[in-house]
Structure 1
Amino acid sequence: MSRRFTNRSIVCRRGVSGARRWPVAFTVIELLVVIIIITLLILVAVPAFRSMMYSSQSALAESLVGAGLKAGHDAALDSTGDADSAVVFFYEPGGRLSMVVCRKVAQFDDPTGPAPTAPSVLRDVFVPVPDIAPIQLPRGWMIRAYVAPNAVSAQWYEAGIGNTARYHPTRRNWVFPETGFYFGNTAPTAGSTGANSGGANRQTFMVRFEAGTGIMSQSRLVPAIVVSPRPSSLGKLATAPWSTPRLRADQADDLGRWVRLVLADPIVQASPPGPSGIPTHLAQLLSSQSSDVVLARPVGQLALYDEERLVAGLGRFGIKIDRDTGSIYTSVPADPKPRVMVGSAGTQADLGLAIASWIEGDTKAPFDGYPDRSTGDAPEARIFVIDRYSGDARTVNVEIEP
């Protein structure tokens, strides 16, 4: 039985099947709706992503602090005699904060100043342990150390009150590792006792552990000398003692051997006594006035924080992160001391007190040292107390007044 189709049905089918379909386009309103939705998603996602990244960096920084302290504690357990170990904190402008495990290799009777009447002190001399790599924090994360009132002195962090004093001498302070600041960028005057000057302006702190036991030691109030050759030939003249290659710390393969060599070298010992009474070459190479050494004092409390959040919290001082140093400090060629350029809100010493308050949880003005929830205070820094026996960093919870 054959099927019959009318012309009309054929035309209709052809009309349906053969119709040309034009591409569908979005209207302007639909595009705007899509853009708004995408923008809202970005606004929600970006802060969440930043918060996630910050939490990750914070956790990493905290774990690295623990790893650095453990490395120093383990080094002390492996030491014998009086060869204490220490975790020394370094910051080079433009770089990252580093924890360096060092070991005591000698003692040195060091004058506290160039004047003939300056008293001398017996300083322990530390050098980095060569087979333990330094531990670096993520960029922008810093560590400060708590020092009690009256601990800052003329030799260690330059005590004083005024526009250039960074810390108040009679108040508590949280000091920064000032290891990368030197006396300008020019060579010193030949013949000067402090020809390799600038060491008096390199200072930091350490967590020190007794050899054999690993017990944390804070009993030595006299800052130790940590040998850290200045990464530059500046400050080293073409005359003695730097004209003798073996006496150059920056050319030494083994800094521990270099220290012992300097203390016993006949050229060094035969040099005429300087104003302080010790051989001139010895003062130039190894004393606290040398730019190849850092003064470091043992501490027991540390604070870990983000430099950008510190700047944001202390905005009324008009401070900012210096693009050359990567910190709030700026290096002035004519002045070896690191400075913070503050506005009319106060002096550098005032800022130092505000930093102490901010670290301790008082994160909003007027920075009176009393964290108060009603004023919006919320701790940003993490404070650690070092366990005396294990060397572990124990977190201190800051109490906020309701």
Structure 2
Amino acid sequence: MNIFWFRRDLRLEDNVGLYHALNSTEEVLPIFIFDEAILSQLPKDDARVTFIHELLSTLQKQLNLQGKSLAVFHGNPLEVFKNILAENSISAVYTNHDYEPYARKRDKELNQLFKEHSIEFKTSKDQVIFEKSEVVKDDGLPYVVYTPYSRKWKEKFKTISLIDYPSENKLDKITNHSYPFLSLSDIGFEASKIKVPPFDVSDHLISNYEGTRNFPAVKGTSMLGAYLRFGAVSIRKMVAKAIESKNETFWNELIWREFFMQILWHFPHTIQKSFKEKYDAIQWNNDETDFKNWCEGKTGYPMVDAGMRELNATGHMHNRVRMVVASFLCKHLLIDWRWGETYFAQKLFDYEQASNVGNWQWAAGSGVDAAPYFRIFNPTEQIKKFDKDWKYIKKWVPEVETSTYTQPIVDHKEARERCLRIYKEAVG
């Protein structure tokens, strides 16, 4: 018997690793492991855990129609596999690549276990079109600026074919087993009140994407993030959709995701340290009261407050507003980008480590392809450009034009001058 281990690929359709497992000569045990090391850091009503369980439940229903089922475990992956190996004769374990540092360390340990049992560990590329060092400069070094990376990405893309992996056609190869399908309560969690909205890649949305995506009061973004993060949709199908629609902007957004993934692969230290080392010399103010006000959407800057309240209430924040609130935290409040990155990691249902770290470092000026440190968003001017009718702001900050609304916790001009001084002292 072989195992297919679902991870960031929670779908039966066009799943590369699952396709290879089902095309092997052996029957396949499909499993998912709720990793206790990850879950122990999360609130018991975490929206992402609920979303993952909903996706697994969808898989289970699809498999039940075929008289099959998914085995769901909770624990340390190494211990889970030791138990499975003790109870079964396993020839190979199939899965898809995961590129985050924690996952790489976990897979290295598991590969050692499999070797000790003469089990093959077969992993496939599934969640990206190009991974690791597949798109690099002519000298073999990784790109650290998006535009030339995207240019090379598109050149390389012309030389390949988008292959479909019809993994859904061979589900009869899945073995019958007696392992359980754990409920949320079985793993110590409860259903979140926050629901991940459906994604939208309709022709209407994509054809209007360029003109609407920057306006938070308009439903102009695809909401694909969480679905790509957990592999509920195929990246190959989404890229094909972007190309078919001839919308370069939508396509570029998908490439940005892979740009940040290859940055994290080549520079895993950027989770904790600035990509541009000298930026770690910045003397952050790190005022805890200011940070609390930022977290709660009580800064006295309407777009910042609207964004943070949207995040706290829904687990989502509009992309344009993410840039505004991140710049405000780092530049106006002089609070370390790592504080903001951690808060987003706790709250965002579409949290993706590579993109989150990459975008926060961009906002702080310390990352790859970053805005120069002297570029400081004026949160009031951003309203004029992107929410001039105050529709978005009034939705989330209903008291904004009343005497009860918070006074600004910093003065824009003074904060800007302080930021420029502190940054200049650190980076010259």
Q: Which TM bucket (shorter chain)?
A: under 0.3
Higher helix share: 2
Max Rg structure: 1
Higher strand share: 1
Alignment TM-score, normalising by the size of structure 1: 0.22
